[in-house]
Structure 1
Amino acid sequence: MKTAPLEITELMNRFNEQGYLILPDVLSQDKVDRLNAAIDEVIAEEQETLAYNIYNSVSRHPEIASLIDHEAILPLIVNLLGHNIQLHISHLTVRKPNPNDVITATHSFIDWHQDGPHPQFPVIAGLTATYYIKVCYILSDMSQPNRGNTKVIPGSHKKPYNPNHKDVRLQLDGEVQVCGKPGDVFIFAQNLWHAGSANQSEFIRKQLFIGYSPIWMRPIDYHQADESLLKDADPIRRQLLGQISDNKFKYYVPEDSMVPLKSMLIGHS
């Protein structure tokens, strides 16, 4: 999938209205297969559990790291969030079948929430601004509900919202289970109310979340990117890994040469 400027404008409007997007067929079947093989390698190094939550996953396998600057997705993120951005999080989640909703220390399901720190981001007139955006690469068959799908409430990023309950196992008015097939992508704002439902199917659920934030925020995954990621990185990859200048003031007011992602902005000449 190649996202043309006209499509980006249309997608931006939809994202700003709904707080999320579902993009079909972003990854080829070959890419999906290679990512799933990489995930299996990573999981084999972990203690067995019903639910795996692995942060800084880009440092665990080159195939996962290749998603940092995915050519179809990155221009859209730049136009949604701005060009002075970085990789914020790379979160691998694998949920095995859990028909009995067994609670695990590794979060086999997650109740309704907005992403962010504790205490939370500033709230003004009941609203939280968009501070970062996550891209979810769907790598298993999530075409049906109740397979550990993410639940969202469309438009909830623009409304003061306090759910009557936070239990993901109970249904909220207006909730949607995000469905997709392997290779599809789900993009959402951190201030969209969402939840992770339990996997009540017979399928293993595999998803990779790659998040982006302003470069002046501290990433969740690390304070200094691994040298293995920086080695041979081009200028765009270096920016996304938070390496633009030794002068930290420049993270707030960078020179154009420090933020090559600016070239992806619509209307940039």
Structure 2
Amino acid sequence: MTTIRADYSEWVQKFNDDGFLLLKGVLSEDKVRRLNAAIDGILDDEPESLAYNIYNSVERHDEIASLIEEPTVLPLIVQLLGYNIQLHISHLTVRKPNPGDAPTATNSFINWHQDGPLPQFPNIGGLTATYYIKVCYILSDMSEPNRGNTKIIPKSHNRAYRPESENVREMLSDEIQICGDPGDVFIFPQNLWHSGAPNHSTLTRRQLFLGYSPIWIRPIDYKVPSERLLKDASPIRKQLLGMISDNPFNYYVPDDSMVPLKEWSW
């Protein structure tokens, strides 16, 4: 295994301070093209809709599954979250142009929220810890606002915050929209307040989210990974799919040999 080392201290500090990172040009044009071709095939098998939320998307195509251990992103996630981690969730969101906000089965927008279970993650003094981190691969032109962009409240992960309105249609004084080009990556923790705005443009929004959590949290998408994902899997992929031991105690206290990503932690 090749150990990837770089100085991520500036990114880690910015993430901890602001609650998000926007990394430019992470994926090549060819990788974006191949991912979009895979998504085209996935959508061909779905009922026609203005909006799609497709969970466990790594199971739907090998091109998407290849992002599980994306070498330009995963080392940074290890620095942010630690080495004893797994793939927590993967979901594809597609929002076609919907200037009239027509209602859809999967919603063209999502109101302001923090991610997490019901009723909620534990909090102390109104603050919730970071339990998992999402990586959003931007696969369509979202360089301008109001294209179904993700809205966020910067720094809201670090303070006892609640928006004055949870209705995404109402602009908040401290909100920003994440704008990016195909191939850019947006990274944020589950405790950052965020929302998915309506798409009032003529373009289709495509974003692919992969989330990572400590391996002792139950993943959202599956109980055990499929044989297809495990076929010829590297030690790192096996760890990220939660296949480290038959003993559940090792999810909490793993041997070093079970968590090869430890070599990426420094």
TM-score range, shorter chain: over 0.9
Question: Offset at 1:107?
Answer: 1.9
- The residue that corresponds to 1:63 in the other structure is 63
Q: Distance in 1 between matches of 2:112 and 2:68?
A: 27
Whole-angstrom distance in 2 between the partners of 1:173 and 1:78: 33
- TM-score for both structures, normalised by structure 1: 0.97
2:49 alignment counterpart: 49
**Distance between the aligned counterparts of 1:53 and 1:105, measured in 2?**
10
> Could you tell me which residue of structure 1 aligns to residue 263 of structure 2?
263
**Partner in structure 2 of residue 240 of structure 1:** 240
Q: What amino acid is the match of 2:179?
A: C
- Gapped regions of structure 2 (runs ≥ 5): none
For residue 234 of structure 1, what is the amino acid of its counterpart?
A: S
For each residue in 1:39-87, what CA deviation from the matched residue of structure 2 results, as whole angstroms up to 9, or x when unmatched? Answer: 0000110011110000000000000000000001000000100100000
Which residue identity does 2:95 align to in structure 1?
A: R
What is the DSSP-based 3-state SS (H/G/I as helix, E as strand, rest coil) of the residue aligned with 1:68? helix
Matched, 1:26 2:26: yes
Q: Is the 8 A contact 1:86 1:242 kept in 2?
A: yes
* 1:214 equivalent in structure 2: 214
Deviation of residue 4 (structure 1)? 5.8
**Structure-2 residue corresponding to 1:85:** 85
Once the two structures are TM-superposed, the CA of residue 103 in structure 1 deviates from its matched residue by 2.2
Question: After superposition, what is the alpha-carbon deviation per residue over 1:163-213, rounded to whole angstroms, capped at 9, x for unaligned?
Answer: 111000111121000000000000000000000001000001101000000
Cα distance in 1 for partners of 2:66, 2:207 equals 15
CA distance in 1 between partners of 2:66 and 2:240 (Å): 12
**Inter-partner Cα distance in structure 2 for 1:21 and 1:103:** 31
Structure 1 stretches (4+) deviating beyond 6 angstroms?
A: none
SS at match of 2:76: helix
Unaligned ranges ≥5, structure 1: none
What CA deviation, in whole Å up to 9, does each residue of 1:77-121 have, x standing for no partner?
A: 001001000000001000000101122121210000000000100
In the other structure, the counterpart of 2:162 is 162
The aligned residue for residue 15 of structure 2 is: 15
Work out the number of aligned pairs and report it.
Answer: 263
How many angstroms apart in 2 are the aligned matches of 1:159 and 1:60?
A: 38
Aligned partners of 2:204 and 2:5: how far apart in 1?
A: 34
Correspondence for 2:106: 106
Query: What is the aligned partner in structure 2 of residue 37 from structure 1?
Result: 37
- Structure 2 counterpart of 1:81, one-letter code: L
Q: Secondary structure at the match of 1:168?
A: coil
